[in-house]
Structure 1
Amino acid sequence: MKKILCFIMVLCLSYGFSQSDKKVLFIGNSYTGANNLPLLISELANDAGNGISTDQHIPGGSQLSQHAVNSTVLNKIASEKWDFVVLQDQSQKPSFEYDYVQNNVYPFAEILVDSIYSNDECSTPLFYGTWGRQNGDPQWDSISTFQKMNTRLFNAYSHMASEAEGMLSPVGIGFAHVYQDPSGVVSFGDLYTGDGSHPTIKGSYLAACIFNNLIFETVSTGNNYLPNGMNTAEANYLQGVADHVVYDVDSVQVDFKPNLNNNDFNFTLVEETVSLTPNVVEGTFDYWDFGDGQISTQENATHTYLDNGTYELKMFTKARCQSDSSTQQVVINTLNLLDEKIQSINVYPNPSEDGMLNIQYQGKENFKVISVLGEIVFSGNSNQIELKSGLYFIHFNEQVVKVVVK
């Protein structure tokens, strides 16, 4: 399960240690507007020493399908380099039958996500996983209870977060935790207003704590902010629920961004030549660093070392606004004669698919490239040359290397 990577580090720091500033845009409806959720999150952040600036577009009953074609929404997305853009659909729609959700929810989430990334690839789409109604939705048996409706909502929002390579705020799971804890300080019914749908201040406070954890990679336990309408015992209980949901429930994934730490590579060594094969699970291959000042952008690369020693082989991978490397050591001890090294020249890739050749050698001597017809097509000292398709011979001192360009 993907969790926030610096959680352990956060727990090791004293609460209230100097933190960070975030910019967050909320796109939703009355579930976000109830009890002013953005303000609740801001108050929690401020108490912990964090800073947050927010904007919002949350007309009651609004749907992702409406937001996706709304110029106000699209202009707000484009107005800032947001750290997070929170996306929330109408309270029922993501729980409807699969075909309906497939056609009337997911495509519009995708449009909004594309707009977010087009504005800033480093922004994170953060899906507001809302809760089932207190007694479910009676129009279909599949969502006729809180548990059924809550499960459908969780699955839909998880799908959207995964497709977006974003994050999920599992507030509905927080409601489910309270539902399953009849002895809790806050009862399940205390989370709902009289309509059995919208949240009371306690429901919104639980949501705010979950968002606070995700946005600032922190825990809410110990936060001293207490909104009107709640007492300290209730706040402490809901803080604990939020921390449990985000960090302790194995079935809940909150972070769907590519995890480049899962990538590694294999290599084989024959004398002084290493052959590398990437194993990229998430993201894409970027380049190799052979540890001797040479790099290569070929995924399946070979490299010949000119000196004995221990080298750090690094494979770099990348994903949206992320870069990471995997490292292994290679030991070269087969080179003994300096004179032999100076006299040798290494040409790769050979054969070449695109005409680009890397030339690796020691010394300042020039080399010549002679075509199969005997024409000298290059003479000089360079670490990279480009040739047209054909057969060539590279002459360096007394060494001749045959090169094929496809």
Structure 2
Amino acid sequence: MKKSILILFLFCLSIGTLVAQNTLSVLFIGNSYTSYNNLPQLVQSLSTSAGKTLNIDSSMPGGYLMSSHLNDATTFAKISQGNWDYVVLQEQSQIPTIDFYRDNDMYPAMTDLKALIEQYNPCAKIITYMTWGRRYGGQQCDPSGTYCSPVFANFNQMQNSLTSAYLEISEQLNVQCAPVGVVWQNILNNSTHVLHSGDNSHPNMDGSYVAACTIFSSIWKQGASGLSYTAGISSTLAQYYQSISDNTLFNSTNDWNLNINKPTANFSESISGNTATFTNLSTSIANTLNYSWNFGDGNTSSIANPSHTYTTSGTYTITLIASNCTFSNTITKTIQIGALSINENAVGNFKFYPNPTTNQITIKVDNQLLGSVYTIYDTVGKSVLNGKISSELNVIDLGNLSNGVYIIEVASEGNYFKNKFIKN
């Protein structure tokens, strides 16, 4: 009998879900479409009814463009206070539909605002607040009439132009988009409800409540359905608005970059002797990631790509938490380091492949093992599969076995030949 060191990599056990904190600070930057009915307060009240704390501030003078905010001392002061988790940006309602201003004013201003926000708020995440079209469409022009939009025949045509502009800049900046205008569109096209105020431009309370539901979910990454706060709207109608908002937002999460700030924890490992070396494969499109490792033996690390030497053989669960200020993601894998005794004749008389495998293994034996019996055991010693070796090459179907580590044993005339394999 001779000793052989066998290092085994076990399958991934679980991947944690997105975790976010329950207290956030949000700065709203916009104009009257944000200030009407005090939208920030509505979002805060929805958050309270969800058991969460939302600290809010705003800069929302009437008629302001993003470029106006870029040169505004009050807006600068609020941004530079720092410690914002989210900043919500709302452009003036006509600008995105006028090609000249969209390309030469809105997009450059949002780009510069993003840089300014990140300069003073390294952890801040930006959400563009997509507004809605005029109730009856129409042509949108600057005060001088020099630059105009197309003549929109109705709300839907104008909304489609707004949607395109907000999605384009959100993609360019790699930020979220709160699709308020699309939620309005889905409600208006499928009901007789009115969301505009008497000027056919600004929101009435229903329209602001719809916007608040969408922004609430964009911030907290959870549905508004079932929340008790209704802003004075009937419970039945509020529930309808909540459900349309949730269906719009969560049925097309990629369209709105809903999870763009979500980190994904991942790593690979290699083992030499009792030392495990871990390569960090975690990703995040925004913000620098922080790492927390637990090696399963009481030792931890916070560096990106650690190595760890174990003092004893055994099975260890490795946990990596990747976090980016607001969100974290967890992955766990199990590795086993240990010595395995193998019969010295096993190599000569009994071979199997591949290892690791997926759905089957092939046992190769020489003549002296023909007619012997093979048995496959799980890691607790329970027999899960057995059969007779009838030829020099024997294919064993593993399709009914779950992924994991198994021991295969071939018994012949009092001799036992054992080895381990992994099914992935």
Normalised-by-shorter TM-score class: 0.5 to 0.7
Alignment of 1:311-326 (within 5 A): 311-313=316-318, 317=322, 319=324, 324-326=329-331
| CA distance in structure 1 between the partners assigned to 2:336 and 2:23 by the alignment | 45
Is the CA contact (8 Å cut-off) linking 2:183 and 2:248 kept in structure 1? yes
- Read off the aligned partner of 1:331 and give its amino acid letter: Q
Distance 1:171 1:327, change over 3 A: same
What is the aligned residue count? 313
Is the CA contact (8 Å cut-off) linking 1:264 and 1:280 kept in structure 2? yes
| CA distance in structure 2 between the partners assigned to 1:234 and 1:115 by the alignment | 40
* Cα-Cα RMSD: 3.8
Distance 1:50 1:309, change over 3 A: closer
- Read off the aligned partner of 1:309 and give its amino acid letter: G
Name the counterpart of 1:207: 211
| CA distance in structure 2 between the partners assigned to 1:117 and 1:266 by the alignment | 32
Name the counterpart of 1:372: none
Q: Which moved more, 1:43-52 or 1:209-218?
A: 43-52
| TM-fit CA distance, 1:170 | 1.4
Alignment of 1:233-382 (within 5 A): 233-250=236-253, 252-261=255-264, 263-272=265-274, 274=276, 276-282=278-284, 293=299, 297=303, 299=305, 307-313=312-318, 317=322, 319=324, 324-334=329-339
- SS of alignment partner, residue 83 of structure 2: coil
| TM-fit CA distance, 1:241 | 1.7
- SS of alignment partner, residue 59 of structure 1: coil
| TM-fit CA distance, 1:177 | 0.8
CA-to-partner distance for each residue in 1:155-185, whole Å, 9 max, x for gaps? 433344455554332111111111331xx3x
Name the counterpart of 2:116: 115
Distance 1:140 1:21, change over 3 A: same
| CA distance in structure 2 between the partners assigned to 1:218 and 1:302 by the alignment | 37
- Read off the aligned partner of 1:85 and give its amino acid letter: V
| TM-fit CA distance, 1:131 | 1.4
Name the counterpart of 1:56: 58
Distance 1:267 1:73, change over 3 A: same
| TM-fit CA distance, 1:78 | 2.6
| CA distance in structure 2 between the partners assigned to 1:80 and 1:154 by the alignment | 30
| CA distance in structure 1 between the partners assigned to 2:238 and 2:30 by the alignment | 25
Is the CA contact (8 Å cut-off) linking 2:30 and 2:90 kept in structure 1? yes
- Read off the aligned partner of 1:34 and give its amino acid letter: Y
Is the CA contact (8 Å cut-off) linking 1:308 and 1:335 kept in structure 2? no
| CA distance in structure 2 between the partners assigned to 1:60 and 1:46 by the alignment | 27
Name the counterpart of 1:381: none
| CA distance in structure 1 between the partners assigned to 2:301 and 2:133 by the alignment | 53
- Read off the aligned partner of 1:176 and give its amino acid letter: Q
- Read off the aligned partner of 1:204 and give its amino acid letter: S
| TM-fit CA distance, 1:75 | 0.4
Name the counterpart of 1:174: 183
- SS of alignment partner, residue 177 of structure 1: helix
- Read off the aligned partner of 2:38 and give its amino acid letter: N
Distance 1:104 1:296, change over 3 A: same
Distance 1:92 1:302, change over 3 A: same
Q: Which runs of 5+ in 2 are unaligned?
A: 1-16, 140-147, 342-424
- SS of alignment partner, residue 159 of structure 2: helix
Is the CA contact (8 Å cut-off) linking 1:165 and 1:258 kept in structure 2? no
Distance 1:251 1:119, change over 3 A: closer
Specify which structure has the bigger relative contact order, considering alpha-carbon pairs within 8 angstroms and separated by 6 or more residues.
2
| TM-score after normalising by structure 1 | 0.63
- SS of alignment partner, residue 105 of structure 1: helix
Is the CA contact (8 Å cut-off) linking 2:321 and 2:331 kept in structure 1? yes
Structure with the larger strand share? 2
Alignment of 1:67-216 (within 5 A): 67-79=69-81, 81-97=83-99, 100-138=101-139, 139-141=148-150, 145-162=154-171, 166-181=175-190, 184=191, 186-187=192-193, 190-216=194-220
- Read off the aligned partner of 2:247 and give its amino acid letter: H
CA-to-partner distance for each residue in 1:308-340, whole Å, 9 max, x for gaps? 23334455645455555543222222499xxxx
Is the CA contact (8 Å cut-off) linking 2:25 and 2:85 kept in structure 1? yes
- Read off the aligned partner of 1:246 and give its amino acid letter: L
| CA distance in structure 1 between the partners assigned to 2:226 and 2:282 by the alignment | 40
Larger Rg: 1 or 2? 2
CA-to-partner distance for each residue in 1:367-394, whole Å, 9 max, x for gaps? xxxxxxxxxxxxxxxxxxxxxxxxxxxx
- Read off the aligned partner of 1:236 and give its amino acid letter: Q
- Read off the aligned partner of 2:337 and give its amino acid letter: I
- SS of alignment partner, residue 240 of structure 1: helix
Q: Which runs of 5+ in 1 are unaligned?
A: 8-18, 337-406
Name the counterpart of 2:32: 30
| CA distance in structure 1 between the partners assigned to 2:304 and 2:197 by the alignment | 60
| CA distance in structure 2 between the partners assigned to 1:222 and 1:111 by the alignment | 38
Distance 1:303 1:252, change over 3 A: same
| TM-fit CA distance, 1:192 | 1.7
Identity of aligned residues (%): 31
- Read off the aligned partner of 1:241 and give its amino acid letter: I
- Read off the aligned partner of 2:336 and give its amino acid letter: V
| CA distance in structure 2 between the partners assigned to 1:294 and 1:238 by the alignment | 47
| TM-score after normalising by structure 2 | 0.61
Distance 1:145 1:5, change over 3 A: farther
Q: Which moved more, 1:289-298 or 1:76-85?
A: 289-298
Is the CA contact (8 Å cut-off) linking 1:125 and 1:161 kept in structure 2? no
